[in-house]
Amino acid sequence: MFDTCGALGREQGGPATRERTFAIRGDILSNNGYARAARAMAAILCERFRVVGVPLHVDPSDCSEPFPGDLVRDGDLGHMAQDAALAVVNHTTPDHFVPFPDCWNVGAFYWETRGIPRRFDWPERIAAMDAIWAPTGFVADFTRDCGYDGPMALVPWPQRFGLPTARRVPAAHLDQHVLLLERMPPAESETASWPTLPLSELLDSPRETFLAIQSLAPRKGLPVMVAEWCRFVAETPEDDSILLIKLAFRHAHGIGPDPRRHLLEILGRYGVAAGQRLRIGILDAHLDDAALDALVARADCLVSASFGEGFGGPIVEAIARDVPVIAPRHTGIADLIPAGYPLQVASDERCVALRDNMEIYPMSATWHLPRPGALAGRLLAFSRMSPEARRSVAAQARAHAEAFCGLDAAREAIFAATDAAPPSAPRAGR
């Protein structure tokens, strides 16, 4: 959600050195978290090294973001290794790790549960890496649980803090329409008839906006989010605040030709009755980085009911903009939110099978389920906070997160990790 095409490198003002080339393999051109994290890492590496990108998992409808370096193919890396000290950063899930001969092979991945997907050979593929760059302490612990005993560095997703927090932004960035569900529509209603409202008009209204940015992936906890929101709505009948869900349908199974109908079925499955008051807005249109920045900056609070995160991109991006967050503190999120945070959502770790979960998650996966009423309680607490208390909470989270993954902290971690590279590449697989 910030410029990764050289701006980070230009901030330092010094000449780049080119003793080593870093090739970053992965989904590097799309708008998802993996790709944005890869571009942010690449922008910092560009300050000292030559950086090239190897695009993988390319979705033709989502591969338009610029990468701060030349693009090459996997087949080019062997030739490059002969001409330079080449480091290959496998910025993918471990089932796509490839150890390239005569290169320094690094694995950098995100994962959300303690379950190890052995059927995808993760322990063996992780063991083939010369080093692991873990984005959070949780991922570092998971890597050790896989049996990896090689070099490990904590390399967080670089985040730009200190961004302007003005709530007024150009309307051109917010021209999408929001599906506005003041009440649960009947199951037989036509989705085309559901009311919509321009996003800019909704955010310009005096309504307080609670923002959730998530997909329909089961671990994101959308049904829990909606159930807890409905509990909050029932407890605040005079309130007019709205839950605005920026929803992506990536990684969701069984989606029919009408995604909104699919969402309605999910809500009904988890007990939301026709006619029940919702105060929910659904935004399922694509947003570019500028629009997403504007949306986050205009929210009063960001809300998450996630069961597990490898990092927690939307959470830290809200924190970086001084927007308070209501979220659990577990897995990767534990590095972003301080202990004792007053808007933390209590959760319990359980070994459960999530309905419609992706095949890569093992049946033994553990997830952190929010305690019943915990999220609704934090929504209510936030709604009663004074503006001064809200600013204090936001500042507390910001100080903690910036010390972990702000640009200065991330830059220090990245270059400490690159300093560990041997002067000449080891044999693949250590």
CATH number of the domain within which 400 lies:
3.40.50.2000
User: What are phi and psi for residue 71, nearest 5 degrees?
Assistant: -100, 135
- What is the chain's length? 430
140 shares a domain with 202: no
232 shares a domain with 182: yes
For residue 197, give its domain range. Answer: 171-405
- Per-residue pLDDT tens, the chain, 430 aa: give them: 333 333 333 344 344 444 789 999 999 998 888 999 999 999 999 999 999 999 997 777 778 889 999 999 999 998 898 877 899 999 999 999 999 999 999 999 999 999 999 889 999 999 999 999 999 999 999 999 999 999 999 999 999 997 655 444 555 567 788 988 888 888 777 777 788 899 988 888 899 999 999 888 899 999 899 999 999 999 999 899 999 999 876 544 555 566 677 777 777 877 788 888 899 998 988 787 778 888 998 899 999 999 999 999 999 999 999 999 999 999 999 999 999 999 999 999 999 988 888 889 998 899 999 999 999 999 999 999 999 999 999 999 999 999 999 999 999 999 999 999 887 655 555 5
The dihedral region occupied by 221, where left means phi > 0, alpha psi between -120 and 50, and beta the remainder, is left
- Other CB atoms within 10 Å distance of the CB of residue 14: 8
Q: What CATH number is attached to the domain comprising 74?
A: 3.40.50.11930
Structure tokens at 261: 């109908």
Rg (CA), the chain: 22
Residues contacting 190, CB < 8 A, separation 6+: none
Structure tokens at 11: 């901030």
Listed residue (70, 81, 121) closest to 105, CA to CA: 81
100 shares a domain with 234: no
411 shares a domain with 400: no
63 shares a domain with 35: yes
Residue 272 counted as domain residue: yes
189 shares a domain with 153: no
